[in-house]
Structure 1
Amino acid sequence: AGSGKTELLIQRYLGLLATVNEPEEIVAITFTRKAAAEMRERVLEAFARVVAGRERGSEHERRTHELARAALARDSARGWRISDSPARLRIQTIDSLCAALTRQMPMLSKFGSQPESIEDAGALYAAAARATIELIDSKDPAAGHVERLLAHLDNNVERVEELLVEMLRRRDHWLRHVMVKQRADLEGALATERRAALARVRERVPPSARSELFELAGYSLGNLGKPAPAAMPGEDDADGWKSFADVLLTKDDAWRARVNVTQGYPAGEGAAGKAAAKAWKERLARLIATLAGERLGNALADIRRLPPPAYSDAQWQVLEAITELLKCAVAQLKLVFQSRGQVDFTEVSQRALLALGDAGGPTDLALRLDYQIRHLLIDEFQDTSISQFELVAQLTAGWTPDDGRTLFAVGDPMQSIYRFREAEVGLFLKARAEGIGSVVLEPLELSANLRSQAGMVDWVNHAFAQVMPEHEDIASGAVAFTESRAVHPRLEADAVEIHPLFAGGEASEAAEVANIAAGVAAAGVKSEKRESVAILVRGRNHLREIVPQLKQAGLAFRAIEIDRLDDRPVVQDLLALTRALAHRGDRLAWIAILRAPWCGLTLAELHALAGTDAPSPRSRPKVSIPLEGKVPVGRGEGRGRGEGFGQHAARSPSGVPMQRDARPAREGQHAADALPEPISSQSTLWELMHDPVRLAALGADARLRLARVRPVLAAALSQRQRSSLRDAVEGTWLALGGPACAASETDLEDAESYLDHLESKEEAGAIADFEAFEQSLDQLYALPDMAAGEDAVQIMTIHKAKGLEFDHVIVPGLGKTPPADGKKLFLWMERPAKPDASSSRTGESGTNLLLAPIEETGAERDPVYAWIKKLAAEQAAFEDARLLYVAATRAKQRLHLLGETRIEARDGAQAARKPDARSLLAKLWPVVADEFQRAAATATAASTNEGGVGDTVPDQSLRRLASAWSMPKPPPALAWTAAGETARAQDEIEYSWVGETARHVGSVVHRWLQRIAEDELQGWSAARIEAMQDVFRNELAARGVERTQLAAAAERVAKALANALADPRGRWLLGPQQGARNEYRITAVIDGERRNLVMDRSFTDENAKRWIVDYKASGHEGTNVEGFLDQEQERYRAQLERYAQALAQGDASMLGLYFPLLAGWREWGA
């Protein structure tokens, strides 16, 4: 960590640019769009520094500068003009590479026209799972398999569907296994696994202790009336080794501290018998002291849980049913993909592999790529999945030694923490040891730590040598620790501080975190240094108490992808409004909008309006209705709702005063739950709002509030079918005063994010499935606090922090345990196969495959399933150690580690109890145990009591707009007199030659370039462009682009905008400029005729020259980009010169054409 791996990759890229004929011969692959954009930006920045003559000081920065200089020299010699056309740099995600491959060979990939690639395909998996289960009513052979599986799982259809969905989500891991394996192969793998476990335990028993163990075990077994072994057990004697394990280990697999008659060590009778018995026990105690160790203890424990050497007939029947059914589920999924025109990224990867063929029969596409790609670079290679690894192998299949082609992969296996995204660190280890396909790799290890001070580096070296395994193992994902070397000097204070906590609860830990952060902030103010602080957590729920404590301490913070968007009050309000406008009978949604701060009825007023009216039975939507003064903690029947409506500020960002009514309420209660049971009627809330009898029962204030919102809602309902759902919701929200209820500018940004998402999901002005919509909304995160400055405390998960660095890092919650993994339909595990003279059967590529079906509902534990689950738990434990390593190595100066455990009485004194084995603290225990024990010995009652430390009291007041609030008056209209319309005089260039889709792409690109320029680049980044893909798709669809072309068109829009943001010329054009105008409309008399003209962008530069720039969304697939740009300049020359003639401001006008898709530029004087 911190060794400059990405910088090395960029240096490699720059170095290769100086050797190739065309930049497209180099392909650099990353795993996220953000990483690809950052890498491209760093390459262009290196070029810009060379052009500007800005050389930096450090050795590696000077090296980058020299390589960039050589690359630019090659650029000039070959006429690439990369600075003007950065799109020629093939720096892309592996998903975009796969999509490009399938587009090039639609027949071979069997895609035909390119479908839309979506990130969240849960609805498609569910549709395929349901279709598979419904085969039970058909004559399909799969009907019997469905019936057998349902019987196995107690006819729980919902559970079977959930299990199928999860398996389809990860099908690239298991699909190849269910296609070819036979029972004999799988049972051979079980036998191999048993022999390997027995060999491990025999190997780990020291030869010097074997005879003593044999005698002691024989003595024990003889006393228990069991047959004693005739010799030491061999590698096939599982029962013999199990009897030895029972002598040495307790039921909990701990080494025995004492033995008695139950273990075959009686007390003895008479003095001689007791002396002899004592001698036997002492011999056993000495033997255990000799043998005791984690490696042998684990090996003996494994013997007790060995899988059987073969499947029972019942097991095999279920396994066969599952594997056959999964094949059907995959087939059904392909039908769903085809019918909906959408696919997931796994499907794109699999079709890309299909388009490439295999090593024995490469396709034309593979042969063409083999000719085009001369250098392949891969970043974060430790996070490669199986299908991605296979893609790399296919791309390099035709490579031979000394043919000039190179593969360069960068990664750190100690930072592989993405198993949940199908990353397999064993692939990195395998590639390092064996290469990839026919390509032999030369391992190069980076040892210098360019990030952290020497004290941090020394602590990490000392600690993680104990935390991480000594030896690496491809099968289990064990990665051995490698030390690093410090470059920066040691600082005075201790680099790492351990904060032991004992049963003080989350509030105690949160208070300690706030104290640490406040101390760092105070020290920074005193020293006038701006030092970064980050709080890193394993799971987002660990922040439940920390965030309120930071607020109470007055610390500004930015939570990065922590708060879910639908936990924000403003989004809850908008969701309720969306449901209410979509269905007048959605009772909870209507109650919620009357409870929202723009109306703000009290519970008593809601009761008077609707408390005696029975709702028609329907499912409860996920809408939280706040009580007076209490944050709602539930949503429907799900998890908590975050800060809730109770956090609305007394004054909105626009300065509108808001009224407070303080009324206590029961903690955590929903308003819907607080209402009394209704007794009759089926009226909608909209009807009840017009009932004079019910209105008469309300107070004057409530009637005034309803009178204000009723006309707005009436207009929205009457016009509902005349606009999109997004426009209806947004317009109604504005008219109700929603923005005036926002607590901060961030709330307004969150509202815009919700509306953009709503627009991306609506079809024909409606949401077809609100449950699916809310599930998709649940995947989005709220923006961090927009008002927090750069020195604010950063809060994020450890996974999100990977690749980042901070001066001070605080890691709380080390004592917490993650939730247990749910059961899968079947478990599988690939294990390396060793040559076996007794059997010729091994799995593909030298591996054995272990498979086990899910356990039958209510039945005893399946030993094969349990064994594979144990192996998976070992892999997870190794990854937990790597996760801890990633957290620790983010720190540049100081690291604070907080963990909680219990205090127990031990030998008459207080001692710290060993933490739960699944916690990160357990992984770190060998390093911090002594410090915890010292703290436990002196801990007082105050430090061990639950809660009470820094508890925060929520604001118990209902915040709402004043009852007499009204919409602010709009600004006065511009004084403008329209001239008589004439025919449009602008000589537009016809778009017919490029097709309708290209024309619509150009329109959307123009619109968003205008928006970016109006924002002067503020808030715009590659990540934001990436997140707006759905918005682009919707806008293109509204303009008439066919569904089959939407994905490619939206990607083209995103690429154009991202290129403009990454391009120095684009940033200059779109950034702050004097007298800037966008979509500048003027009317002028040219050649005796009045003409209406529209200029994309006009501004005055630092040299007082007036620029007129037009954007062109044209693309070019050929190699002669410069010739194409020259043609385009001539095509549009007359048009821009007319603009200059019309503007006629006396300045020497400069004219420019900007091509964002190509990052191309042409300029000339007027």
Structure 2
Amino acid sequence: MPNWTDEQLGAIESYGCPTIVSAAAGSGKTAVLVERTIRLLCDEKKSIPADSLLAVTFTNDAASQMREKLSAAFEQAVINNPDSAWIQKQQALIRLADICTINSFCFDMVRNNLPKTAFQSGVRIMDEKEAQMVAETALDRVMENAYKTRPEELELLISRFSNGDDEQLKSYILTLYYFLRSLPFKDVWTANVISSFENGSAVTDATSFLAERAMEELTEFEKLTSRLRSCTDSLVNYSSAANKLYQICDMSDELAKRLRSEEARGDWDRLREEIYAYKPLSLAGVRQAKLEKQETTAADEIRYKNAMACKDSLSKKLSEIAACLPCSLETAKSDSKIVGGCFRALVALTNELWAEVDAVKAEKNALDFADTELLTVKLLVDCSPDGKLTRTPLAQEIVSSGRYKLILIDEFQDINNLQEVIFKAISDTPDMKNIGSNVFVVGDVKQAIYRFRRANPKIFMNTRLGAKNGSGVREILLTKNFRSRGSVLDFANYIFSSLMCSDLGEVEYSGEEALVCGASYPEKDPPCTIITVNSDNSDAEENEFRAVAGKIRRMIDAGVPVKDGDGVRPCRPGDFCVLTRNNVSADSLFESFESMGLKVMSGSFSGYLRSREISLMLNLMRITVSPMRDIPMASVMLSGLMGFTDDEISLVRLRDKGNRLYKNVLEISVEEPDSPIGIKCASAVGLIRRLRALSASMPLTRFIKKAYDLTDMFSMAAAYEDGEQKCANLYLLLEYAKKYESSSNDGVPGFLQYVEYILKTDGDFAEALTVTESEDAVNVKTIHKSKGLEYPFVFLCRLGKQFNSSDSKEKLLLNDEHGAGVRYNDYETLTVRKTIFYEHISRLNKSETLSEELRLLYVAMTRAKERLFIVMDTGKDACRSAQEYSRLISSHEILPSLSRRAKSMQDWLIMALIKHPGFTCLGESGYKDAVGLPDIAIEAAPTAEETVSTSEKETESGKGFDSELSERIYQSFHFANDDRLCKSEAKLSVSEIAKGEYDGFYADMPELTDAPAELTPAQKGTILHRFMQLADYEKASSDLEGEISRLTDSGMFTRREAASINRRSISAFFESGVYHRMRRSRNVMREKSFIVRFSDIRAGDQLAEIYAGTQGMLQGIADCVFEEDDGYVIVDYKSDRITSLDNLKDRYSMQLLLYKAAFDILLDKPVKSCYIYSYRLADGVEVELDGIKE
């Protein structure tokens, strides 16, 4: 039994009140969650039925893991309590509990209440990209209608938001549409935003926020002034410069005093006047040290440069304060009216788009996961215009019936606004203001990293805040980390105690949030290591991966120990994980690690759709749909699929520059059939024509498989150095095609349109994995994909990559708490006005983005169990940043206003480490006291030249000529492929062989008509065969209509199919001699199937030659086989359009011979004859087969 800590035990035993558990990384929250659940469900006194459990999380893997752990816990509980009928009953009921993802829960809620929605039975989940295509197509219709019905309103929006066309306006509408889909009650939010513009509250909200930000910047301004004064004190040999700098310090102090005065506080225009009236003192004449008369030393010049740099930072900071106060109050109020009117019109168009998209989805009977959440909210909650929430009758029934007596929510920090409302509605909370007493939630706001999915970590923090303020919610903290060494945790605590706060990270990283070491390791904790690279004149990504691969190689070769259970073992590649913020280039990653003899396990590669093999296959599909597309045509012609050289394609192009390339190819194939280029053109034309016919008659996945076969695509892909990856990508394309087919039947053209949309929106598919988890390989993951995982050694790479700040720079910015901000075209100044509302929302969104990035860094650092390695680029940019930050950081305290200036994760690390005595890679630290600070090690990565030099030395000292290896390579050239295995199918059916004797290729082209389709002869034949398989012959021979009716009523046939059955033919069969022989037989086998090896049967000269010595298989199904005293008789039913029985015998002679050959070895008696019955002729003929000609 585990030794639970007091905090864990408190969480396990919490019951009867709403509980929120804030569980730090590695604190064992899953174990706590499972233990609490199993104790409650096994407690007969509490009598909580196991099927009344609702446990939700965010991934299928997590849900499966929770279900497995609960099942295992129940098995153990039954073993421990074999006489408890209650526990045995609970073990059975747990299978009926809702343990699932939130998406699955909402989809089930919708499916169980379909009559209350616009959807029908069989509703499906729509792919995200398909949903986006539906929205964009619907928007075109909305815009077209708006142009017709209210052109003036549309013209106003275009003139304010666009540059002459409506593309920018469309992007505004889509942005607002997707944002509103993350809100539970969009109409309430939009009404409040419009009202805030009209009544002026938006102005008050924005000015209050920006004035507060200005004061934060002013604090930095004051620190810089103090720093400048200190620098000036050291300029003893620069008297004139020092005098002016002292004056600047005095003026700056006076400005700060006026800005913080009672008169300016709360007076927006007064603050602006003070800032814009300030005129900095000019330093003209004292900028150069050469103008000074006193003798100076090198140290003096450094002090002077530092003072001048500090003065420049002070001027820059003054500009940043002014940027917080962009316009007067009067201008802001004027903007409010303009923006309010435009936003009202924008909302109206967005609502039209909403209705149009909903109608299309209802017609398709498909929805996406966002729809399931919105519909679930609609099913469970009503919202009044003033925002008051009440349960619907359905929600009241769920609560009153006790459907969910126990609700567990894992990763609560990642839920969104919609999900919060849903879980409050089904919990037993009386007023829906807080979670109910039957709710238990677990999470860690420091690991909230899914803002791009509209997750709202403030929900978690507000619930915790409510617990502190007497809301009735109980808060429990799990701070002990049982995963990592103390050195890893000390380093993480040092970094985040300096950076993370309520303004940045949305949580104060104080004592109760800091990680506490709970794990024990045998040896002394090694320090965290900073690996430095310099990428000023080279590729940063390549340099970093090379440095990491080299370090891993050295550690493996040195056998660095890893804790494994109670002992240790040497490290291996699978112990290492390389984390990056975003997907990385496969080329630089593979090249770096393979050069060190290391395999890589990664699903983080980008560029699948643009890879050589997939681009080529897509181009082949493009010219299949439309051969007149020159660029795809040229691409395929120059590839190995068609084999044209550069000179040959030039000749084709020059034949007629005005023609399409394919037309020139077509003409050359006709006019020069015997020339080398004419032969290639004829082959190209033949391939395209065949592919076009196949694409019109085959499902998408089958077409792609056939295209692979016809072009030998896999052989060509395998010839490349990374052939394994290319072949895996081609196989994966089949999976993506199959997934597309599951939700669409638009074939090749529809799939291409889908892919084109993904490429247009900068999307991509994941690349195929060529290394499985069972192989020992270095793990490379994005930080997002590493969440919940742990590795002995973790390397953080590409930390210098700049943040994506698009959320704070788009022309339309939205925030669920503070409304909207827009930039609009100002007619008077002919400029794009950045309104005060835009500045407000932009800064808010930037703070939220930075908070998420900081939490990502926390997640990355806490994945390491034994050692953490940070790769840092120490080029010129990093040195400049370090110098600037050192002027602004006087101690280990970092102001939020400075943290918000970071452009990358590396900037934060420099800020936090700049005062650490051990952080010397960017210059000497000003602090020497390291007491209480974590140990760090600095390690410079070898340069590319040094790596190459070492590699060359190793090569020189390697083994000489290996005669044994040479002989093995030589012998491999004698291998000869068995061509028969490439030309013949591994498994054939009898009908395919028989059909091949007289059938050519005929594409099954659809008939393009709106009239109800008639059943084809083939379909009618299939129906007759099915009747002969299912019918009761005794009943059918005496009452054919009655038997047909019986089968129809039982669902075997539709009315339409039943009407198509040829009664005359079947009645004639029941009067035939062969039927009377069947009635007398004691053994009648209908639809008798078989599968045999070709090598086991006597299959005739041609087939024997093809399949001799191979493992080729033959399969088939005989319509009927019945036994007589001297052997078996095979009966084969045919519905062909023929004029005589002799034609039938000739056509199917091969099929009958193969049937006989197969059943001769499978049955206990020989097949003495075959009987063919023709439905069309209502007659049959017996074929006696004495043998097969040798």
Distance 1:366 1:860, change over 3 A: closer
Q: Which residue pairs with 2:379 in the alignment?
A: 355
Q: Secondary structure at the match of 1:828?
A: strand
- Shift of the alpha carbon at 1:377? 0.8
- Shift of the alpha carbon at 1:898? 1.3
Worse-superposed segment, 848-857 or 113-122: 848-857
> Are 2:161 and 2:169, in contact at CA under 8 Å, matched by a contact in 1?
no
Q: Which residue pairs with 1:818 in the alignment?
A: 803
- Please show how residues 516-527 of structure 1 align to structure 2 within 5 Å: 516-524=551-559
Deviation per CA, 1:95-140, whole angstroms, max 9, x where unpaired? 2222222223334445455643224121022123222322332225
Query: Letter of the aligned partner of 2:706 in structure 1?
Result: G
Deviation per CA, 1:1049-1101, whole angstroms, max 9, x where unpaired? xxxxxxxxxxxxxxxxxxxxxxxxxxxxxxxxxxxx997443667999xxxxx
Q: Is residue 194 from structure 1 mapped to residue 207 from structure 2 by the alignment?
A: yes
Q: Which residue pairs with 2:89 in the alignment?
A: 78
- Aligned counterpart in structure 1 of residue 732 of structure 2, from 753, 756, 764: 753
Q: Is residue 32 from structure 1 mapped to residue 62 from structure 2 by the alignment?
A: no
Q: Secondary structure at the match of 1:934?
A: coil
In 2, the alpha carbon distance for the partners of 1:36 and 1:584 equals 48
In 2, the alpha carbon distance for the partners of 1:487 and 1:223 equals 52
- Please show how residues 935-974 of structure 1 align to structure 2 within 5 Å: 935-937=921-923, 968-970=982-984
Query: Letter of the aligned partner of 2:33 in structure 1?
Result: L
Distance 1:714 1:319, change over 3 A: closer
Query: Letter of the aligned partner of 1:190 in structure 2?
Result: V
- Shift of the alpha carbon at 1:380? 0.8
- Shift of the alpha carbon at 1:423? 0.9
Which protein, 1 or 2, shows the higher relative CO under an 8 Å CA cutoff with sep ≥ 6? 1
Q: Is residue 163 from structure 1 mapped to residue 172 from structure 2 by the alignment?
A: yes
Distance 1:79 1:934, change over 3 A: closer
> Are 1:986 and 1:1092, in contact at CA under 8 Å, matched by a contact in 2?
no
Q: Secondary structure at the match of 2:66?
A: helix
Worse-superposed segment, 453-462 or 783-792: 783-792
- Shift of the alpha carbon at 1:686? 5.5
Query: Letter of the aligned partner of 1:357 in structure 2?
Result: V
Q: Which residue pairs with 1:927 in the alignment?
A: 912
- Shift of the alpha carbon at 1:36? 1.9
In 2, the alpha carbon distance for the partners of 1:336 and 1:124 equals 8
- Aligned counterpart in structure 2 of residue 369 of structure 1, from 370, 374, 398: 398
> Are 1:116 and 1:343, in contact at CA under 8 Å, matched by a contact in 2?
yes
In 2, the alpha carbon distance for the partners of 1:452 and 1:564 equals 35
Q: Secondary structure at the match of 2:806?
A: coil
- Aligned counterpart in structure 2 of residue 129 of structure 1, from 139, 142, 152: 139
Distance 1:917 1:79, change over 3 A: closer
Q: Which residue pairs with 2:157 in the alignment?
A: 148
Distance 1:314 1:200, change over 3 A: closer
- Shift of the alpha carbon at 1:439? 7.7
- Shift of the alpha carbon at 1:484? 1.6
In 1, the alpha carbon distance for the partners of 2:481 and 2:279 equals 43
Distance 1:351 1:1094, change over 3 A: farther
Q: Secondary structure at the match of 1:92?
A: strand
- Aligned counterpart in structure 2 of residue 335 of structure 1, from 356, 359, 377: 359
Q: Is residue 884 from structure 1 mapped to residue 863 from structure 2 by the alignment?
A: no
RMSD between aligned residues: 5.5
Q: Is residue 741 from structure 1 mapped to residue 741 from structure 2 by the alignment?
A: no
> Are 1:689 and 1:695, in contact at CA under 8 Å, matched by a contact in 2?
no
Distance 1:865 1:794, change over 3 A: same
Query: Letter of the aligned partner of 1:567 in structure 2?
Result: R
Deviation per CA, 1:867-901, whole angstroms, max 9, x where unpaired? 21012111212221111111111111111111224
> Are 2:624 and 2:692, in contact at CA under 8 Å, matched by a contact in 1?
yes
Query: Letter of the aligned partner of 2:765 in structure 1?
Result: L
Query: Letter of the aligned partner of 1:876 in structure 2?
Result: T
In 2, the alpha carbon distance for the partners of 1:378 and 1:48 equals 23
In 2, the alpha carbon distance for the partners of 1:740 and 1:548 equals 23
Which segments of 5 or more consecutive residues in structure 1 lack a partner in the other structure?
54-68, 251-258, 263-284, 615-677, 832-847, 954-961, 1001-1038, 1040-1084, 1097-1142, 1146-1166
Provide the TM-score with structure 1 as the length reference: 0.64
Worse-superposed segment, 771-780 or 118-127: 771-780
Q: Secondary structure at the match of 2:55?
A: strand
- Shift of the alpha carbon at 1:463? 1.9
- Shift of the alpha carbon at 1:795? 1.3
- Please show how residues 465-484 of structure 1 align to structure 2 within 5 Å: 465-469=497-501, 471=502, 482-484=513-515
Distance 1:981 1:950, change over 3 A: same
In 1, the alpha carbon distance for the partners of 2:649 and 2:981 equals 24
Greater C-alpha radius of gyration? 2
- Aligned counterpart in structure 2 of residue 588 of structure 1, from 631, 635, 640: 631
> Are 2:60 and 2:100, in contact at CA under 8 Å, matched by a contact in 1?
yes
Q: Secondary structure at the match of 1:488?
A: coil
How many pairs does the alignment contain?
860
In 2, the alpha carbon distance for the partners of 1:466 and 1:367 equals 48
In 1, the alpha carbon distance for the partners of 2:1046 and 2:527 equals 65
Query: Letter of the aligned partner of 1:392 in structure 2?
Result: F
In 2, the alpha carbon distance for the partners of 1:395 and 1:439 equals 19
- Aligned counterpart in structure 1 of residue 416 of structure 2, from 385, 390, 415: 385
In 1, the alpha carbon distance for the partners of 2:116 and 2:681 equals 63
Distance 1:367 1:597, change over 3 A: same
- Shift of the alpha carbon at 1:28? 0.8
In 1, the alpha carbon distance for the partners of 2:610 and 2:176 equals 29
Q: Is residue 233 from structure 1 mapped to residue 263 from structure 2 by the alignment?
A: yes
Q: Secondary structure at the match of 1:768?
A: helix
- Please show how residues 49-128 of structure 1 align to structure 2 within 5 Å: 77-78=88-89, 81=92, 87-111=95-119, 113=121, 115-120=123-128, 121-128=131-138
Q: Secondary structure at the match of 2:669?
A: coil
Q: Which residue pairs with 2:839 in the alignment?
A: 866
Worse-superposed segment, 545-554 or 712-721: 712-721
- Aligned counterpart in structure 2 of residue 770 of structure 1, from 752, 764, 774: 752
- Aligned counterpart in structure 2 of residue 828 of structure 1, from 766, 790, 814: 814
In 2, the alpha carbon distance for the partners of 1:607 and 1:767 equals 29
Worse-superposed segment, 791-800 or 561-570: 561-570
Identity %: 19
In 2, the alpha carbon distance for the partners of 1:889 and 1:365 equals 43
- Shift of the alpha carbon at 1:815? 1.3
Q: Which residue pairs with 2:68 in the alignment?
A: 41
> Are 1:511 and 1:949, in contact at CA under 8 Å, matched by a contact in 2?
no
> Are 1:448 and 1:486, in contact at CA under 8 Å, matched by a contact in 2?
yes
In 2, the alpha carbon distance for the partners of 1:350 and 1:543 equals 39
Distance 1:995 1:512, change over 3 A: farther
- Shift of the alpha carbon at 1:709? 6.7
- Please show how residues 501-516 of structure 1 align to structure 2 within 5 Å: 501-502=533-534, 503-505=536-538, 506=540, 507-516=542-551
In 2, the alpha carbon distance for the partners of 1:162 and 1:596 equals 38
Q: Secondary structure at the match of 2:627?
A: coil
Q: Which residue pairs with 2:444 in the alignment?
A: 412
Q: Which residue pairs with 1:612 in the alignment?
A: 654
More helix by share: 2
- Shift of the alpha carbon at 1:240? 4.1
Q: Which residue pairs with 2:894 in the alignment?
A: none
- Shift of the alpha carbon at 1:948? 7.3
- Aligned counterpart in structure 2 of residue 696 of structure 1, from 669, 672, 675: 675
Query: Letter of the aligned partner of 1:792 in structure 2?
Result: A
Deviation per CA, 1:1118-1152, whole angstroms, max 9, x where unpaired? xxxxxxxxxxxxxxxxxxxxxxxxx999xxxxxxx
Q: Which residue pairs with 1:631 in the alignment?
A: none
> Are 1:322 and 1:853, in contact at CA under 8 Å, matched by a contact in 2?
no
> Are 1:985 and 1:1092, in contact at CA under 8 Å, matched by a contact in 2?
no
Provide the TM-score with structure 2 as the length reference: 0.62
In 2, the alpha carbon distance for the partners of 1:1095 and 1:396 equals 58
- Please show how residues 270-281 of structure 1 align to structure 2 within 5 Å: none
Q: Secondary structure at the match of 2:149?
A: coil
Q: Is residue 562 from structure 1 mapped to residue 605 from structure 2 by the alignment?
A: yes
In 2, the alpha carbon distance for the partners of 1:934 and 1:896 equals 16
Deviation per CA, 1:632-668, whole angstroms, max 9, x where unpaired? xxxxxxxxxxxxxxxxxxxxxxxxxxxxxxxxxxxxx
Q: Which residue pairs with 2:343 in the alignment?
A: 319
Query: Letter of the aligned partner of 1:172 in structure 2?
Result: R
> Are 1:713 and 1:732, in contact at CA under 8 Å, matched by a contact in 2?
no
